Chains A and B, each alone.
Chain A
């Protein structure tokens, strides 16, 4: 099973960039790297995903290592609303078992 490793928690100051790391050394060649976040008392929400190349969207950027064994989610300017648990997720290599959520990284944003 493809698994991910993330730090349990991180802190950031408001309006500063945040780099959230994820290790996935057993990733298979066809697995996309997904990031979701979960705000308090809400369901997870999609942030970004990628396969090999770095990706940008309005929420964040995803930097993927050349060997794909690690990736970094980048929030360019953290706001208080970005305080959440961030999950780095790979697909299990079985049909239909789409995502495996680990415990994620709890991001605190300090004013």
Chain B
């Protein structure tokens, strides 16, 4: 039981490149979330999903897209990478709203 896995662990992108951050869970939880964490700051919600086929914007969605075709996977897409997207990205899951969230190990992204 791995919980929440994220790939890759670290990536360097050039400005304008695109990439997909992967998040997979094996706990069969309905709720999934993407956060970003800038140095020395707290986490900010980018997108979330309450179940397969349903996604919605969080606090900072600009420059990102998500999809949720299965319960297990919630990929985050960056279409045109910008230096402002340099951050650590965390995926999280929960069984229901307000319940405990379980976080993945994070993906460190550097855009140069």
Contact = CB atoms under 8 A, between A and B. Distances in A.
Contacts of B53: none
Give the bracket for the number of chain A residues in contact with chain B: 20 to 34
Contact of A44 (B43, B48, B56, B98): B43
A7 interface: no
A43 B104 contact: yes
A44 B90 contact: yes
Given A43-B90, A43-B105, A98-B31, A91 B98 contact: yes
Interface of A: 32, 36, 42-46, 49, 87, 91, 95-104
A43 B58 contact: no
B33 interface: yes
Nearest to B103: A43
A64 B63 CA distance: 39
B59 A97 contact: yes
The 5 closest A-B pairs by CB, nearest first: A43-B103, A101-B42, A101-B43, A46-B100, A102-B42
